Structure 1
């Protein structure tokens, strides 16, 4: 029997007094009182179809609150909208924001600040998302995005998970508020807190267990997490083991990044070289890792077809070896985007020259020379 089914009505009431509600085996923090019929009817009146059953069921458990789990991919979901919330908009504000002539088909019900929003399709009940694109250089894919996410709100909550056990890892990216809220409850209600703790831990993605059981390659979310962890830490033995179990070491695992991209982001050059030996694609390696590569590795990546963009040059500027910057910038096509680097290049050249004059450091003097040459080259429209 799961912890969710072992929570009786008294347990749920005690949890509710602590601001915790449970829906589809996931905890909602700062839980609001359930929606009333009048408000539900008022929301429905703004929509092209009825409020989907699963969303109405959620609202009858908690009409608003905070979410402290993770979704697969880059979508963030931290807030359930409600009337009178103090976010960028409350529920009515988001409805007004989306309102076009006629009634809403897609009903906004949660998201993250103004960047990510989740909607329930009033025709089908499906959950879809919209995500605002970040500025150039922040991510591989630019521009706003929208797509389906789950068959309904219950299935969406089933996708909420934790990549780490917040009681075992104090630096976990999510779950700290869940842990602290439950620990606060444990002082007065240890039995209920224990059930809630078990429920949270049941949502932890246990990729090591799947690896040991031989089922990891067939579990996409666990597989991607394992590849991410191996590449981030530079664990070549784990990467080898993942490959042996059928995992694709060229699979995009996070924000479009593949394991070699992630290894380079984290400066794990040995792991990156190991992956190069497997002939994995290197398209985005300099966009993500120009700050960390050696000159020899940069030459290899360029020869293999690594893309050079403005953000690759931006990373190379931060590389300690000026030869890396020379190699990368020489492949940058002339453009207004490239010329945007010129003021920074000149500033850094002046700083490097000043540091060289004070210290006599020849490497710093070489860096100043390279930075000036590249600023002049880009200003003159050179490239390629």
Structure 2
């Protein structure tokens, strides 16, 4: 139980599908699992269910959670989506029984590949995650890792720049309460840095419970205040000059600077010794992330502060960039390429494209041919997307107008 809420408040929150566990909020919560249901899961496991997982299921069979979780997996800085606690009978991608059967099938196939007979017992139990891309497991066999909470993340196709391209597995924490403690909020959900933010799902759920089901606004506000206790504080150690000693907090602060395109904050972080190298999201460096998000002020500040610039940094341009920034990035190690030229052209930055073209000519003799090849491929892709958007077959972040604009830019440009 929580010391922050009276018993009657906890009971009322429970009526509205809200449960507190290990100082974190679970919403859209299911009723508790029965003794028989827990025993049925126990029968499938190689060892005893961790008592903390049993305690969770005695509170709720499953539900939704809305926090950030960043883990180092395969050398990548990965955002793990632990948005769901699986429950039996959900009939969706968060059905506990379906995921158990999935693991059983994998175990059978793995044993068969080794010409062995599987004993029918799971050593790791899936109990949360997000759809098919992220899963959370509890180790349920006796040994040094018993009770550990693991995160598995699916690799993405090679076409996804800076994404992890192979499946990965890592330990979140030594037990379930410690794993819940790893769940945090990078940003204050009441002061979000963007249009889509962690906490949005919970706030919308609470608003619906208040507007439609009569959950008292005073209790909503109290719960939101409790939830916001998970907001990480990197500003205090920054002011104290100690932020650089905490790698996880430093990365959160740097991501915030990029998300808000805050040049002054980047300069302040650099002056305080915050590391500007290493992966910040996936394998993307800070400068990669800034360019991909159109945070050009932050990108300039990063480059001037000595942050590493990837050789292919200019290939990820997705908004109109200044020729001055392009020149700076080329000076800091970015490689001129036909793709970078075409990206700048498409985004409506012809002056920047010409700066890259001039640098390319100094190293290569095939500029007209190389650029034309890339331009035609890019035009074909944009025109195909535009046709599908106009006929309603798909949506696109640029919309029909943005896609048409990029097509026009590419068609009208000449070296």
Same fold per TM (> 0.5)?
yes
Residues 61 and 92 of structure 1: CA distance in aligned 2, closer, same or farther (over 3 Å): same
Tell me if the contact between 1:165 and 1:204 (Cα under 8 Å) persists in the aligned partners. Answer: yes
Q: Give the whole-Å Cα distance in 1 for the aligned partners of 2:292 and 2:262.
A: 14
> CA shift at 1:318, angstroms?
3.1
Q: Give the whole-Å Cα distance in 1 for the aligned partners of 2:25 and 2:329.
A: 46
Tell me if the contact between 1:319 and 1:325 (Cα under 8 Å) persists in the aligned partners. Answer: no
Tell me if the contact between 2:346 and 2:410 (Cα under 8 Å) persists in the aligned partners. Answer: no
Tell me if the contact between 1:313 and 1:329 (Cα under 8 Å) persists in the aligned partners. Answer: no
Structure 1 unmatched runs, 5+: 333-337, 352-361, 371-384
RMSD across aligned C-alpha pairs, in angstroms? 3.7
Q: Give the whole-Å Cα distance in 1 for the aligned partners of 2:372 and 2:131.
A: 33
Choose which of 68, 80, 83 in structure 2 pairs with 1:75: 80
Write the mapping of 1:304-323 to structure 2, written as runs, cut at 5 A.
304-306=332-334, 315=343, 318-320=346-348, 321=350, 322-323=353-354
> CA shift at 1:150, angstroms?
1.9
> CA shift at 1:363, angstroms?
8.0
Choose which of 203, 206, 209 in structure 2 pairs with 1:179: 203
Aligned to 1:6: 4
Q: Residues 14-49 of structure 1, C-alpha deviation per residue, up to 9 Å, x if partnerless?
A: 110010000011111111111222111111111222
> CA shift at 1:84, angstroms?
0.4
Residues 307 and 18 of structure 1: CA distance in aligned 2, closer, same or farther (over 3 Å): farther
Structure 2 unmatched runs, 5+: 71-77, 109-117, 365-370, 385-407
Choose which of 151, 174, 177 in structure 2 pairs with 1:129: 151
> CA shift at 1:260, angstroms?
1.7
Tell me if the contact between 1:290 and 1:313 (Cα under 8 Å) persists in the aligned partners. Answer: no
Structure 2 length as normaliser, TM-score?
0.73
Residues 44 and 341 of structure 1: CA distance in aligned 2, closer, same or farther (over 3 Å): farther
Q: Residues 53-92 of structure 1, C-alpha deviation per residue, up to 9 Å, x if partnerless?
A: 2222211111110112221241111111111013225111
Alignment: residue pair count: 353
The answer as to 2:296 corresponding to 1:269 is: yes
The answer as to 2:154 corresponding to 1:154 is: no
Tell me if the contact between 2:251 and 2:280 (Cα under 8 Å) persists in the aligned partners. Answer: yes
Structure 1 length as normaliser, TM-score?
0.78
Indicate the larger mover: 172-181 or 162-171.
162-171
Choose which of 125, 132, 140 in structure 2 pairs with 1:107: 125
